[in-house]
A and B are shown apart, each in its own frame.
Chain A
Amino acid sequence: MPVRTAYQAKIEFLQILDEHGHYDAKLAPPGTEGVLTDEQAVFLYERMIECRRLDEIAFTLQRSGRMYTYPQNKGQEAAALGSGFAMRKGTDWLVPCYRENAALFLHGLPMHLVFLHWMGDERGNAIPAGVNVTPIAIPIGTQMLHATGMAWAFKMRKDDRCVITYFGDGATSEGDFHEAMNFATTFNVPAIFFCQNNQWAISVPREQQMASETVAQKALAYGAQCVQVDGNDIFAVYKATYDARERARAGGGVTLIEAVTYRLGDHTTADDARRYRNSEEVEAWQSKDPLIRLRKFITAKGLWDDAKQAAIEEKAKAMVAEVVKKSEGIEKPSTDEMFNFLYAQIPEELRKQRDTLRTHSLGLDPAQAGLRAGSH
């Protein structure tokens, strides 16, 4: 009996705007669905600049002791913005990790909240009503299951919403990734899994994290659609996410998008990447910086010039100053903050702890201590 092929697959890599700023109009004819217009490209370039400047100031704040640990987003702005822009603000949901600030801002999250979070202030996680994002996820991989559940709920309620969840290359090693993919595809929920493959999980390079050639191919095992995109090409990221969103809305299934990008900074401000990766690699990726590429493109199209660049830099500077002022200007949280949000209604014992800031019984109930004081 001949051996039958039970399954065959190929992984496509999508790049529309290459690192020299050349645009492939055959792949993305202007004016068609899922293709960014000139105005949109300029709009997103400006957001990229803002996010980069914000990222830089966060880094300096940390270095001068005004912020605690901060994970830089530098180099990954196209991945965050292109995908975030493909999701409908106020309708779809973003379930992030911690390296897609630009997408969160695009969906209305006030920038100073992200700063507050990294300044060690929980009020930074108080997400304003109508902003459809979940908080920054620190425990790696956990958020993908939440995203799947949310998408599942939207399906159950016949609510036309999709969910995109973000995670890193390292996160695909956690069981949660595999469980989420399996649930999402088994119940065919409107979810998009967006992997920011920035080549590193702290000090562990992708090749050491997994034996598979791509992250995208992991989707095949779960019956999801998949595509690999140049994550520093905002056109490719937008198109892939747009297509995935439309497919999800139409009940056409789950998509895993692998955005091939690079973490230009250290893992966080607590890390020193020079310990484990060489500068040639970093330099090679610096030339693929999404900002440079998009600027080349809009400049060549006559949409951008030095005067506009100067103007946006000015604007970004003012905006960043405002964010710093807002996040630093806030008074220290009251200790009540520790207690007030644990339950809808605070239990009596906890109320006592809150009001006395004590846990030992004689401190919780000073009358008891006084009762016997001096009696020995």
Chain B
Amino acid sequence: MPRTEKQIKDGLTLVDAINEALAQEMERDSRVVCLGEDVGLNGGVFRVTEGLQKRFGPDRVIDSPLSESGIMGTSIGLAMAGMRPVPEIQFEGFMGPAYDQLVNHAARFRNRTRGSLTVPLTVRVPWGGGIHAPEFHSDSPEAIYIHNPGMKVVCASTPTDAKGLLLSAIRDPDPVIFFEPKRVYRSYREQVPEEEYTIPLGKAKVLAEGTDVTMITWGANVFQCLEAIDQLPEDLSVELIDLRTLNPLDWDTVCASAEKTGRVVIVQEAAKTCSLASEIMATIMERCFLNLKAPVQRVCGFDTIMPYAKLELDYLPSPKIIVEATEQVAAY
């Protein structure tokens, strides 16, 4: 689909970039099908699949029955039988019914069959808070899927990364969960290469180089961290890492930075306990112990359930708290 004037002038949103990636991959590979609740005629509740059914037909862009277990389980079958399904779960809060199929089946077939049956599917999931959505529409469950082996987990924060990472995900021979930060969906635009390209899974991106403190994050919090950096004293040199792929994680980039600065702040929306932040801390502890100058800090969601909209911004890590934690780490 040709880009609109606005897209040409102001760039693509995350939604636009994912849509373009899906269209290009469906064009390139006839095995790719999209399925999920309302993804067809309606273009998905976030319009990420807008126009795809019209272009590729209802056999390739499929409005499924309202059943997450059904969507995930049949996607496994489709994948094992030679298709490249890209199912959508409408909100991360509804991954519950799909959990068993995803964790106990999609993630295990390769291992269970000694490599004879594989599940190359990419499940797209709108993820995280910040848009004042109803209950069960704002969670950050990535740690659950990182903890369980067998799935790759991606979380793109920018349109350019989203396009390249999604194309890698769809072409990956293993199941990939592709988390899409809702808060960024339409809040940020940038120029994105029009032709198809891939960004390898498992590679973090250093967004800003620095020498005093390392800030590690992913998803919508990349933007919270950028805001925090703006507010921090200019002579504090912060290195900002966007992980982009959460599993497998780019430990070399993380540890090289931790060793360089000796001071680390990890920022995530998810609740603190047993989270990805916990794992990053543990690994830095194991690998960079002698280089640390301060205890690694986690700015996280509280160990509570994501509150309804009125308290949402009190729950999510704010630039203010990120600044405070960074200053404390820097001064320690």
Chain A residues within 8 Å of B, Cβ to Cβ:
68-69, 117-122, 138-141, 170-171, 173-176, 201-204, 208-210, 270-271, 275-276, 332-333, 335, 337-339, 342, 349-350, 353-354, 357-363, 369, 372-374, 376
Contacts and interface: CB of A to CB of B under 8 A. Distances in A.
B8 interface: no
A159 to B, nearest CB: 30
B63 interface: yes
Contact of B307 (A122, A138, A209): A122
Contacts of B305: 338, 342
Contacts of A275: 41-43
A349 B132 contact: no
Interface in B279-332: 293-295, 297-305, 307-312, 314-315, 321, 324-325, 328-329, 331-332
A338 B331 contact: no
A117 to B, nearest CB: 8
Contact of A359 (B295, B301, B328): B301
Contacts of A372: 294, 331-332
Nearest to A69: B134
B191 interface: no
Interface in B252-303: 265, 272, 293-295, 297-303
B99 to A, nearest CB: 12
Contact of B325 (A176, A204, A357, A360): A360
Contacts of A210: 65
B66 interface: yes
Given A203-B42, A338-B305, A369-B328, 20 more contacts: A120-B132, A138-B134, A139-B94, A140-B94, A174-B66, A174-B67, A174-B68, A201-B37, A204-B63, A208-B63, A335-B311, A337-B307, A350-B302, A353-B302, A357-B314, A359-B299, A360-B325, A362-B295, A362-B325, A362-B329
Given A138-B134, A175-B97, A201 B66 contact: yes
A202 B321 contact: no
A339 B308 CA distance: 13
Contacts of A335: 311, 314
- Of B40, B63, B298, the most chain A CB neighbours within 10 A belong to B63
Contacts of B272: 353, 359
Contacts of A171: 66
Contact of B311 (A270, A337, A354, A363): A337
